[in-house]
A and B are shown apart, each in its own frame.
Chain A
Amino acid sequence: MRYLPLTKTDRDTMLQTIGAASVDELFLDVPASACLKGPIADLPFHKPEYEVESLVGAMAAKNVAAGSCPSFLGAGAYRHHVPASVDHILLRGEFLTSYTPYQPEVSQGTLQYLFEFQTQVAMLTGMEVANASMYDGPTACAEAVMMANRVTQRKRAVLSGNLHPHYRETVETMARTTGFTLNEAPPSPGALENLSSQIDDQTSCVVVQNPDFFGRLHDYTMLANACQAKGALLIVAVTEVMSLGLIKPPGEMGADIVVAEGQGIGNGLNFGGPYLGLFTCKEKYIRQMPGRVCGQTVDAEGRRGFVLTLSTREQHIRREKATSNICTNSGLCALAFTIHLSLLGEAGLTGLAELNHAKACQLAEQLAAIPGCRVLNDSFFNEFTVELPKPAAGIVDALAKQPILAGVPVSRLYPDNKAMANLLLVTATELTTDEDMDALVKALREACR
């Protein structure tokens, strides 16, 4: 077995040292009735590397990779180019195979990039502090609501109807299982919501998204003021982190907590995971912030160094009084994000965001020209909502056979909402070519006939 170094001689010598006749003797505390007599027979036995590669490769080959055809999907996961150097660095064993940096003297590499990551995230969102990441955008959003409940000592959150359904449903699960209430607005594609009227002195927070689920852009400054007036926190969720290269950051709008899905920078689609939850807040709330945090300090010789800090909020110290039961961050995904954003820099990120927007504008114009199609958004970044003359799901399935991945039918996430059955979310990124757009326009023109 290629991953197991012990030889038969090793095992025999070691058993002798231990004073046991066999390995079975070491399992003597296991009830005899539960000890299997040998390897489970109805499972396959070991395989050489090339056979495993061929088995797993065969499953991969049954899928249509997004990059193999024109692809316009978004809705919380975005296909951007990931530079080759990102993955090259990610695969370095010192990053890939290291543990959580609890031993700072031998983890300065991980700790320094986490410090850089936190700085980048704070800069992008316009916020004061960031943690070292969470599982993904939706879990970060749910943690944000629970943090707002702790900060305000209130237990009712207001959710925008134009929040990504996975974010909303993740918050709903936490509300049901941990005991707080929600005031949820209905989805309103193409129209503005009035959430200010929902806020009262029992409201812990208002959760909105920018760009919202349907792609529309917002300035939430007025809403932030309305929240502040009632002692509630404003939580802004960003599902396409690339948008922050071009859009006014939520921190400037007065957000108290900003959460985001960081996948769009440095991380591939990976069929939905692992992704990267970004979490930021105002500095005055850091003691209530969930998740790991890296901080700067000095070593015994006075040199700058980094450590995990504020750990007294966490489960391994506070146990049942911790701010969250979560202990993992998305370390490698955060590293990918940090490397990619370092490559981009100010000029690269703003330029890339401009390019995404330009592509989306070009596509929106072309789609709007198809008879029967209507673009609902007056504003957007790289994703917008198109109203088709018939149900979007059927069209998407039909185009998938060509194959063209035409976008995300809203009904995939809202199966029971008949009013939105004809809506299609369409995304263009820097990877979308003129030929891709032509193919989609041609296919949609026929499908809509």
Chain B
Amino acid sequence: MAQTRFTKEHEWTRLDGDVATCGISDYAQKALGDIVYVELPPVGKKVKQGEQVAVVESSKAASEVYAPIDGEIVAVNDNLAGSPGTVNEAAMGDGWFFKIKPANAEQADQLMNEANYQSYLKGLNP
């Protein structure tokens, strides 16, 4: 399994075989507060890096979620419909949003790794 990569918009992606699982970071879920709803893209949708593909809502805020890499949506996490709180409990695990079949396996390497992301977060909250 490849290492987890992060975007500046707080999405994460992790390549496993030829499919990349994507979600929002633990920092993002904490910042949003209790997640009440996640709007997911249709399976089969072709997406470009940086394109809005999902929306995540807490009871008083809504934020767009962008595709971390180019590719095709091959699965979405249907469990989130019934229990959106999973995102708060396990943002980096069971609270994943969607899986992308990458158009370009190397593209994710341009994103931040865990250590870089952590120092990026420190920069946001000096």
A: residues with CB less than 8 A from B are: 287, 309, 311-312, 317-318, 321
Are B61 and A317 neighbours in the complex by a CB distance under 8 Å?
yes
Which residues from B are CB-within-8-Å of A312?
36-37, 57-62
Residue B114 at the chain A interface, CB threshold 8 Å:
no
**In the bound complex, CA of A287 to CA of B37 (Å):** 9
Are A317 and B60 neighbours in the complex by a CB distance under 8 Å?
yes
Docked complex: B1-43 residues within 8 A CB-CB of A: 36-37, 39
Which residues from A are CB-within-8-Å of B60?
311-312, 317
Which residues from A are CB-within-8-Å of B39?
287
- Classify the secondary structure of B's interface with A: strand
- Contact count band on B: under 10
In addition to A317-B62, A321-B62, 16 A-B residue pairs with Cβ atoms within 8 Å of each other are A287-B37, A287-B39, A309-B59, A311-B59, A311-B60, A312-B36, A312-B37, A312-B57, A312-B58, A312-B59, A312-B60, A312-B61, A312-B62, A317-B60, A317-B61, A318-B62
Query: How far apart are A389's CB and chain B's nearest CB, in angstroms?
Result: 59
Docked complex: B29-79 residues within 8 A CB-CB of A: 36-37, 39, 57-62
Query: How far apart are A147's CB and chain B's nearest CB, in angstroms?
Result: 15
**In the bound complex, CA of A312 to CA of B60 (Å):** 6
Which residues from B are CB-within-8-Å of A311?
59-60
**In the bound complex, CA of A311 to CA of B58 (Å):** 10
Closest to B39 in A: A287
Which residues from B are CB-within-8-Å of A309?
59
Which residues from A are CB-within-8-Å of B61?
312, 317
**In the bound complex, CA of A321 to CA of B52 (Å):** 13
Closest to B62 in A: A312
Closest to A319 in B: B62
Which residues from B are CB-within-8-Å of A321?
62
**In the bound complex, CA of A309 to CA of B57 (Å):** 12
Closest to A322 in B: B62
10 A-B pairs closest in CB distance? A312-B62, A312-B57, A318-B62, A317-B62, A317-B61, A317-B60, A287-B39, A312-B61, A311-B60, A287-B37
**In the bound complex, CA of A321 to CA of B39 (Å):** 14
Closest to B36 in A: A312
Closest to A314 in B: B62
**In the bound complex, CA of A317 to CA of B60 (Å):** 7
Query: How far apart are A322's CB and chain B's nearest CB, in angstroms?
Result: 10
Which residues from A are CB-within-8-Å of B57?
312
Query: How far apart are B113's CB and chain A's nearest CB, in angstroms?
Result: 32
**In the bound complex, CA of A318 to CA of B64 (Å):** 11
Chain A to chain B contacts (Cβ below 8 Å), 18 pairs: A287-B37, A287-B39, A309-B59, A311-B59, A311-B60, A312-B36, A312-B37, A312-B57, A312-B58, A312-B59, A312-B60, A312-B61, A312-B62, A317-B60, A317-B61, A317-B62, A318-B62, A321-B62
**In the bound complex, CA of A346 to CA of B60 (Å):** 38
**In the bound complex, CA of A339 to CA of B62 (Å):** 35
Which residues from A are CB-within-8-Å of B37?
287, 312
